[in-house]
Amino acid sequence: MIPTLREFLAIDLAAIITACLCALACAIVGNFLVLRRQSLLGDSIAHSVLPGLAAAFLIVGSRGSVPMFVGALIAGVLSAILSEGLRRFARVEAGAAMGVIFSAMFALGVLLMSLPRMRSVDLDADCVLNGVLETVIWTADASRGTRVPAVWSDLLDPGVLAGAPSQLLTALVVCGVVIMVVLAVFKELTLASFDSALAGALGFRPWLLHTVLVVLAAAASVASFEVVGSILVIAMLICPAATARMCTSRLRTQIALSGVFAILSVLIGYLLAGFGPMLLGYHSLALSASGMIAVAAGALLTGAIIFSPSHGLLARRIRTLRLSVAIAREDLLAMLYRVEESGDARSLTLHHARLALGGGLTTKLAIRGAIRRDQATTTPGGLALTDSGRAAARALVRTHRLWETYLVKELGLRPDHVHRSAMELEHHTTSAMADTLASIVPSTTADPHGRPIPGDRPRGNPPE
């Protein structure tokens, strides 16, 4: 069932905006966590939210959003400080220290929640863990004069804005602060993340920048825990940044992309959770939106690992295949040249060429490529070089034999040991390198096996 505009504005809009703001804040901070290889720090901070909330409630005695936020923030920063202390004084690795601290903090939270005074509160561990995005809705309160938006233009109405859910306001403030702080100390954060020793030597106080980052991560986690829950917030911190990292090698671009991926995850996740089951025919089923957002973030990362044009697995496979096809094509040309050179009247049959090149897809593409580039043609007997193919083949064979000569004369290798090395080297030799080679092994016209080294320009008639 498609919601009406009224339903969308009252129920979905606040949740979507809040989730987008939280995801954006988490993603921006996440970039620096990922680059510093401190991704687990986010997890540690997120798990410490629970005892922070409980302690804040016990101290203040109400479930106001400001004390809750401050309590959780302090707990998050405390967990980072404790982890660092444990790492330094217990002499364990950073991951182990964080693991110990965040489970201890979380256990403390569970204990506090089980106190009799906490029983009456609608603050249950489940909601902290998994998030309840569904509760982020516009509320109408006649006594305060707030109402729910019914049409788009209502969003400019002060009465409507005053009724915006508190989570949305928190997310807006946190996201704004994160963006402003990162913009202000972008240069310093980058330096301290890349080379903290130099940052220290230049007087940029790496520990201070680290603390700033921890506070930002804690603020983003606390703002997000109601949206995606403290366990899933780690996905929001890490996935968009890791996805962006797969797509670029520029930090600014990476941060911008991570924001795009964060918002995409929210939109995809929210839509799938709301309408996914319906599309599959399960009309009464609704999925957890927060869970689906984290799944979408994970799916985007998986997609980037496979399909990223610069760093993806597929792109790398294609580059490798292209290279091996190019090498096989060059090998084919050189082979045809050697057949011509040997004076054998028979031409190389397709069958023999395939056998010699190892067969398979690479060989097929190499032969097709040579014909398409007009370097070889099919003759009744098999394959033959064209003029342009012969020129390319001559250059290759020349490079091959120059390398063989070089390896024997300059490096003192035995003549029967050099063919394979030369086969490798010939494909990666530029014409400038070939000229240098020729100048190192001058006055040589024959390779170590006694075969002539072709000149760098065609001389007379091609060998028949």
Partner 1 sequence: MLHPLSTPKSLADRPEHSPSSPLSVHDMTVAYQRRPVLWDVDYDAPSQSLIAIVGPNGAGKSTLIKACLDLLPRASGRVEFFGKSYRESRHMIGYVPQRESVDWDFPVSALDVAAMGRYAKIGWFGRVSRRHKDAARECLARVGMADLAHRQISQLSGGQQQRVFLARALAQDATLYFMDEPLAGVDAATEATIIDVLRSLRSAGKTVIVVHHDLPTVPQYFDHVLLLNTRVIAAGPVSGPESVFTSENLRRTYGGRLTLLDQAAEAVARARGG
Q: Does 90 interact with partner 1 (rule: CB under 8 A)?
A: no
Least Å distance between CB 196 and partner 1? Answer: 9
The neighbour count for residue 300, using CB atoms within 10 Å, is 23
Residue from 60, 108, 185, 267 touching partner 1 (CB under 8 A): that is 185
Among the residue ranges 50-58, 97-105, 199-207, 445-453, the one whose residues contact partner 1 (CB under 8 A): 199-207
Closest CA to 18 of 178, 213, 217, 225: 225
Least Å distance between CB 191 and partner 1? Answer: 5
Least Å distance between CB 190 and partner 1? Answer: 7
Q: Does 38 interact with partner 1 (rule: CB under 8 A)?
A: no
Q: Does 35 interact with partner 1 (rule: CB under 8 A)?
A: yes
Separation in Å, CA 376 to CA 78, 96, 395, 399, 431: 71, 62, 15, 20, 22
Residue from 167, 193, 224, 347 touching partner 1 (CB under 8 A): that is 193
| Alpha carbon distance 37, 51 (integer Å) | 26
Q: Does 158 interact with partner 1 (rule: CB under 8 A)?
A: no
Residue from 137, 166, 204, 211 touching partner 1 (CB under 8 A): that is 204
Comparing CB distances to partner 1, the nearer of 87 and 390 is: 87
Q: Does 249 interact with partner 1 (rule: CB under 8 A)?
A: yes
Closest CA to 232 of 166, 167, 298, 174: 298
Rg (CA), the chain: 33
Q: Does 195 interact with partner 1 (rule: CB under 8 A)?
A: yes
The neighbour count for residue 138, using CB atoms within 10 Å, is 20
Among the residue ranges 102-110, 246-254, 262-270, 358-366, the one whose residues contact partner 1 (CB under 8 A): 246-254
Least Å distance between CB 410 and partner 1? Answer: 17
Dihedral pair phi/psi, residue 185, rounded to 5°: -115, 30
| Alpha carbon distance 70, 9 (integer Å) | 30
Least Å distance between CB 277 and partner 1? Answer: 39
Contact 430, 424 (CB under 8 A): no
Comparing CB distances to partner 1, the nearer of 37 and 117 is: 37
Residue from 139, 190, 211, 421 touching partner 1 (CB under 8 A): that is 190
Name 137's Cβ contacts closer than 8 Å, sequence gap at least 6.
10, 11, 14, 15, 165
Contact 333, 375 (CB under 8 A): yes
Q: Does 198 interact with partner 1 (rule: CB under 8 A)?
A: yes
Structure tokens at 415: 């003549």
Q: Does 382 interact with partner 1 (rule: CB under 8 A)?
A: no
Among the residue ranges 51-59, 96-104, 243-251, 355-363, the one whose residues contact partner 1 (CB under 8 A): 243-251
Q: Does 194 interact with partner 1 (rule: CB under 8 A)?
A: yes
Q: Does 184 interact with partner 1 (rule: CB under 8 A)?
A: yes
Comparing CB distances to partner 1, the nearer of 51 and 206 is: 206
Q: Does 449 interact with partner 1 (rule: CB under 8 A)?
A: no
Residue from 251, 367, 396, 422 touching partner 1 (CB under 8 A): that is 251
Among the residue ranges 9-17, 47-55, 182-190, 417-425, the one whose residues contact partner 1 (CB under 8 A): 182-190
Structure tokens at 106: 């979380």
Q: Does 260 interact with partner 1 (rule: CB under 8 A)?
A: no
Comparing CB distances to partner 1, the nearer of 89 and 420 is: 89
Q: Does 40 interact with partner 1 (rule: CB under 8 A)?
A: no
| Alpha carbon distance 298, 100 (integer Å) | 26
Q: Does 313 interact with partner 1 (rule: CB under 8 A)?
A: no
Least Å distance between CB 301 and partner 1? Answer: 17
Q: Does 202 interact with partner 1 (rule: CB under 8 A)?
A: yes
Instruction: Using CB atoms within 10 Å of the CB of residue 252, give its burial: 0 to 12 exposed, 13 to 18 middle, 19+ buried.
Output: exposed
Q: Does 203 interact with partner 1 (rule: CB under 8 A)?
A: yes
Least Å distance between CB 211 and partner 1? Answer: 15
Residues that bind partner 1 (CB under 8 A): 35, 37, 184-185, 187-188, 190-191, 193-195, 197-198, 200-204, 245, 248-251, 254
